[in-house]
Amino acid sequence: MLRSVWVDYSRKGSPDVVFVGRRRDGEPAALVVKGFRPYFYVEAEEGFDPDRLEGLSGVVEVREVERRHPYSVEERVSLYQVLVTYPKVVPRLRERVKELDGVREVYEADIPFVRRAAIDLNVPPASEIDVDGLREGSWSGLPAYFADAEEARELEHRPYPLDELVVASFDIEVLAEPGTTTEGSAGPVIAISFAYRTPDGERGNYVFTWKGEEAEFTVDGVETEVVVCESEAAMLREFVERFRRVDPDVVFTYNGDEFDLPYLKRRADRLGLDVGRLARPPGKRGVIIKPGAARRASDIFGRAHVDLYHTAQKNLKLERFTLEEAVRDVLGVEKEELELAEINEAWKRGDLERLFRYSAEDAHYTLELGLELAQVELELSYLTRLPLPDAVRFSFGQLAEWRALYRAHHEGILAPNKPSRDEYERRRREEYKGAIVFEPKIGLHEHVVCVDFASLYPNVMVHHNISPDTFDCDCCPEVTVEEADDPTEATVAPGVGHKFCRRREGFFPRLVKRLIERRREYKARLREVDPDEEPERYRLLDVRQQAYKVLANSYYGYMGWANARWYCRECAESVTAWGRYYIREVRRIAEEEYGLRVVYGDTDSLFLKLPGADLSETIDRVKEFLEDVNRRLPVELELEDVYERILFVTKKKYAGYTTDGKIVTKGLEAVRRDWAPIARETQRRVLERILKDNDPDAALKEIHRVLERLRSGEVDLDELAVTSQLTKKPSEYVQKGPHVRAAQRLARYLGTEPEPGTIVRYVIVRGPGSVSDKAYPVELAREEGKEPDIDYYIEHQILPAVERIMKALGYSRGQIVGESTAQKTLDQFLG
DNA sequence: GGCTCTCGGGG
DNA sequence: GTGTACGAGAGCC
């Protein structure tokens, strides 16, 4: 049995597909599949001579095949399947074939070879594979099992728990001059922290460095060893050695895709070191950086690099997605933090203890975070047949598509192509009526319960058979909601007029139904497990049902995604139409039958309160209501959050304080680095006064205090500094924004033109002209004694951050800026 | 109002 | 690697 974590294919000779992982006995091993060929499909006019395909160089064989039509439940498409020698010949061949007379279209010619193989052979890249009985041998020094394509198709496999792998994490600290970027000036790596855990529970934490003294301390109860090396190069060598000895299957990082791995590789290259030794087996393609991508991806050959930044973004709801925030949210731990300047300072002064502890904590908690969050990625990788590192990086839309590609292949359905650039743009302009957003009751409310439809859209898709291949069928009559005896049995979506087949099940409903049913099975099994007795098994089943759920939930969004292969505007439009129908029904039931008041609602959520009731009464009433609704309608309405207080500002913008002490904000965040610290801080304090202390007047006083400080010139330029990054040289900009003009001023001052990647810290100073005319680098502004432009900071920073919030509480602009003292009493705004 | 540009995570 | 995110917000023109 092999637990595989990684797939690639050999570039020399035949393109063998190699799955690398670990055997049950703990040894690393590989499954090598021989004889699977790259291919694509060609649709041609009648009378087209397939010999013309056969004659092209790189083509091995041409087969006549039939596939099911992607947009019709009945139709079949006749195609030529063109099998070729190597993956890399496909792009060239695809273009040549398109130009042949009589060729209408080329299909499935853009599917990377390992993904194609994982789908067709039905060997999930991250799965426990029964390889016993296969021919044994070795591949690049690893014990290997050999199968031909036909044998591979028969292999049994299943998902496995992360605990059965060797998992590790690492984090690097580097010397970076403030105001520079790590892209341009690669300062030395000063410390590498490394943490691991084996299936039998063995753990280790290390900090490798090249200054200071050997030391030992504990982080979160784990012994941590500081290993001091002779030099940076020796430290890198030592890290690589230890890493190889631990031999992790999964490597967690936090933003390793764009920082740790590329940096490590660049630094190692500069020092003449070989990071290829990090690979399993060691080789030239050790650390694979894909630099061309808009978002860079980095991999370690033979191991699964799981960058938890993506996982956090997809699975957590945080205001900011820093490691610190993610760790706080998931593990409830306050991590030791160091500012960039403090890292430099500590290293230069030799004050290293805090630095090492900080570094060790980063790796340790990254590992802990991975142990908590990554199981769902393994499940999604399994469900989509995507390699684990890809599944981690992909959006839910992409995951939905790859699951569809996998199912389509095995159901004999031809996959549509991705849209051209023009088609993509056209789709993006295409508008359709989306979900309903109820008008919020603006102002502050107490004791509000948020309920939402966990699976409204998937249920709608299945129940109403909404799918690209059932849209506008020839076989069913049009029956509207008004005409139908049972409105939920209408063939036409309410209000939008699109008809869907009711005789034959569509591809997407079948796909979604399968996910929903499997999820139900896991939930049933979950009920049989006692979480106290078998916590691991319980957690695993729970994660599994979640993976099915999130995937099922992705298909509505997928059909409306402009880049989708199975894009179907009418489908998406019909799903939202039914969604509006159901949420209105539910709202009516809440109000008419349960006396609940809807203070806000968006898409699949309702914010409810029971006038005159306390929190526990409200919750009880809501629970009764939920049970009733779920029995009566084909929906699943759930209790989502309970708010002590919540402030509705406008549609899509609100902030609340939950009964478990969390501040939740939507659409109000001002956390980007192109906002001045003073604006971010003021907003945070204002929300805290209102939501936690229930004291809007104190919030107003916070604002007045800040405005007063600004006007009196007490505010330090650092509080006003906005940072922004140059993406090209200043002279190359068409439109010279404030950061460009600030950079040009800095260039004149320093005498060198800044490189792309330079980070500019600037303030807006008093004077004539546009914002850009007044943008000065902080150092220069300080040197020349420039005064900050108070009006700019008030109008463009402080007020945008707080004005809407305060207005929702009934304060006028005059009151907010301190020109008027008349205040409405809070009671008027407590509904 | 359209176009251009930047944000995110990491040090 | 059979490839090239994304959606929002600010300021310029």
Q: Which nucleotide is nearest to A796 (CA to C1')?
A: C10
How are beta strands A250-253 and A304-307 bridged, if at all? Answer: parallel
Question: Which letter does DSSP use for residue A693 in this model?
Answer: S
Contact (CB, 8 A) for A773 and A767: yes
Which H/E stretch holds residue A290?
strand A287-290
pLDDT at A827: 43
pLDDT at A830: 43
DSSP string, A71-101: T-SS-EEEEEEEEES-GGGHHHHHHHHHHST
For the stretch A230-276, pLDDT in tens is: 999 999 999 999 999 999 999 999 999 989 999 999 899 999 999 99
Contact (CB, 8 A) for A493 and A463: no
Distance CA A74, CA A708 (A): 72
Strand B closer than 7 A to residue A258 Cβ? yes
* Angle, vertex CA A796, rays to CA A793 and CA A802, nearest 5: 95
What residue is closest to C13 (Cα–C1')? A735
Q: Which nucleotide is nearest to A393 (CA to C1')?
A: C5
* Angle, vertex CA A253, rays to CA A31 and CA A10, nearest 5: 25
Residue A303 CB: number of other CB atoms within 10 A?
26
Nearest-Å Rg of the Cα atoms of chain A is 30
**How far, in whole angstroms, is CA A718 from its chain's centroid?**
32
What residue is closest to B3 (Cα–C1')? A735
Q: Which nucleotide is nearest to A728 (CA to C1')?
A: B5
pLDDT at A147: 98
How are beta strands A189-197 and A167-174 bridged, if at all? Answer: antiparallel
Strand C closer than 7 A to residue A735 Cβ? yes
Q: In the structure, how far is the CA atom of residue A726 from the C1' atom of nucleotide B5, in angstroms?
A: 10
Whether omega for the bond prior to residue A199 falls within 30 degrees of 0, making it cis, is no
Name the residue among A486, A472, A473, A558 with its Cα closest to residue A515.
A558
Q: In the structure, how far is the CA atom of residue A676 from the C1' atom of nucleotide C12, in angstroms?
A: 20
Report how far apart, in Å, the C-alpha atoms of A384 and of each of A41, A126, A375 are. Answer: 22, 10, 14
Name the residue among A216, A392, A188, A197 with its Cα closest to residue A309.
A392
pLDDT at A286: 86
Contact (CB, 8 A) for A369 and A330: yes
Residue A246 CB: number of other CB atoms within 10 A?
18
Q: In the structure, how far is the CA atom of residue A652 from the C1' atom of nucleotide C11, in angstroms?
A: 24
Q: How much is the pTM?
A: 0.88
Which residue reads 């991705």 in tokens?
Answer: A418
Residues 791-820, chain A, CB closer than 7 Å to nucleic strand C: 796, 800
Residues 657-676, chain A, CB closer than 7 Å to nucleic strand B: 671-674
Token pair recorded at residue A305: 């690099």
pLDDT at A28: 96
Distance CA A423, CA A429 (A): 10
Q: In the structure, how far is the CA atom of residue A581 from the C1' atom of nucleotide B7, in angstroms?
A: 37
Query: What are the per-10-residue average pLDDT scores of chain A (831 residues)?
Result: 96 93 96 97 96 95 97 96 96 96 96 97 97 96 97 97 97 79 72 97 97 96 97 97 97 94 91 93 86 78 96 87 94 89 91 94 98 96 97 95 98 96 86 84 94 90 96 95 90 96 97 96 96 95 95 94 94 94 94 96 92 95 96 88 92 88 76 78 90 94 94 90 82 85 85 78 90 90 91 89 89 85 46 38
Within 7 Å of a protein beta carbon, the nucleotides of strand B are: 3-11
Strand C closer than 7 A to residue A309 Cβ? no
* Angle, vertex CA A503, rays to CA A500 and CA A507, nearest 5: 65
What residue is closest to B11 (Cα–C1')? A174
pLDDT at A728: 82
3-state secondary structure A302-328: CCEEEEHHHHHHHHCCCCCCCHHHHHH
| End-to-end Cα separation, chain A, in angstroms | 63
Residues 39-98, chain A, CB closer than 7 Å to nucleic strand C: 39-40, 87-88, 90-91
For the stretch A522-545, pLDDT in tens is: 999 999 999 999 999 999 999 999
- Tally of CA atoms within 13 A in the half-sphere of A752 that contains its CB: 4
pLDDT at A79: 98
What residue is closest to C2 (Cα–C1')? A110
Within 7 Å of a protein beta carbon, the nucleotides of strand C are: 1-7, 9-13
Q: In the structure, how far is the CA atom of residue A743 from the C1' atom of nucleotide C11, in angstroms?
A: 16
Q: In the structure, how far is the CA atom of residue A299 from the C1' atom of nucleotide C1, in angstroms?
A: 13
Residues 329-348, chain A, CB closer than 7 Å to nucleic strand B: 340, 343
Distance CA A481, CA A484 (A): 5
Name the residue among A285, A274, A269, A273 with its Cα closest to residue A12.
A285
pLDDT at A829: 43
Strand C closer than 7 A to residue A292 Cβ? yes
Q: In the structure, how far is the CA atom of residue A421 from the C1' atom of nucleotide C6, in angstroms?
A: 15
pLDDT at A686: 92
Distance CA A271, CA A266 (A): 9
A517 CB-near residues (< 8 Å, 6+ apart): none
Which H/E stretch holds residue A631?
helix A615-632
